[in-house]
């Protein structure tokens, strides 16, 4: 989704890309962001990504700055997909490099954007190819679920999180179970939708 930022000193050659609606507010309200915004969010954590081909409507001549995170599985997978799809020059800001407890720019306020911008890194061709190939590898593996393990994305199966879910599972209060799982998930920061799906699958197996 494209959002035009109405300001006088707009940089029309650059575009800020973010994943997840929460990131819109700090980026749009910050007076340090003088580009238009592009929101994209697909959950590539679960399911078939072998032949996924979701269009990204960005002019190939624009420089793209991506806001992502290395401790948020969904945002990181979105970032890999952009490196795979776009021919554009790309720079990236990983929010967790600013603060390891920040899982997304959506968890910040406009006043923090100044500090986050210090972590912007322009990808070299080699780096972009490496991220592109990481996406291709994951797509080829096309596993049931993709998760961080020790800082790297792995392809695995639904059972991988069973012991973690069992630790907090309360069949009488699924809402509390999901909230607790999300609150204690510091490595992947999975969404409630993912946990609800895994719990529903578990209930059907039991």
- Of 203 and 37, the structure prediction assigns the larger pLDDT to 37
Q: What is the mean pLDDT of the chain?
A: 90
Residue 3 has pLDDT above 90, yes or no: no
pLDDT in tens, 4-33: 545 556 677 899 999 988 888 999 999 899
Task: Please give the C-alpha separations between residue 66 and each of 27, 33, 44, 93, 131, in angstroms, as whole numbers.
Answer: 12, 12, 17, 6, 13
Q: Which residues contact 20 (CB under 8 A, 6 or more apart)?
A: 39, 41, 74, 75, 104, 106
pLDDT in tens, 43-54: 999 999 999 999
Helix or strand run (H / E) with residue 64: strand 63-68
Q: What is the DSSP letter of 123?
A: P
pLDDT in tens, 96-121: 999 988 888 999 999 999 999 999 99
Global model pTM greater than 0.85: yes
């Amino acid at each position: 989704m494209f959002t035009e930022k109405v300001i006088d000193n707009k940089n029309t050659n650059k575009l800020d890309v973010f994943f997840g609606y929460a990131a819109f507010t700090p980026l749009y309200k910050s007076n340090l962001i003088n580009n238009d915004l592009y929101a994209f969010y697909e959950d590539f954590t679960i399911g078939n990504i072998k032949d996924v081909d979701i269009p990204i409507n960005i002019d190939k001549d624009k420089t793209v700055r991506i806001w992502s995170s290395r401790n948020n599985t969904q945002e990181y997978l979105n970032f890999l997909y952009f490196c795979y799809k776009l021919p554009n020059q790309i720079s990236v800001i990983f929010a967790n490099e600013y603060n390891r407890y920040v899982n997304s720019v959506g968890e910040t306020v406009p006043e923090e954007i100044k500090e986050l911008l210090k972590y912007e890194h322009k990808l070299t061709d080699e780096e972009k190819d490496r991220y592109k190939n990481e996406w291709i590898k994951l797509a080829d593996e096309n596993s049931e679920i993709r998760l961080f393990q020790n800082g790297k994305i792995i392809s695995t199966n639904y059972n991988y999180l069973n012991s973690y879910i069992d630790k907090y599972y309360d069949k009488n209060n699924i809402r509390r179970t999901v909230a607790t799982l999300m609150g204690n998930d510091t490595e992947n920061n999975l969404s409630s939708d993912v946990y609800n799906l895994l719990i529903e699958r578990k209930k059907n197996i039991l």
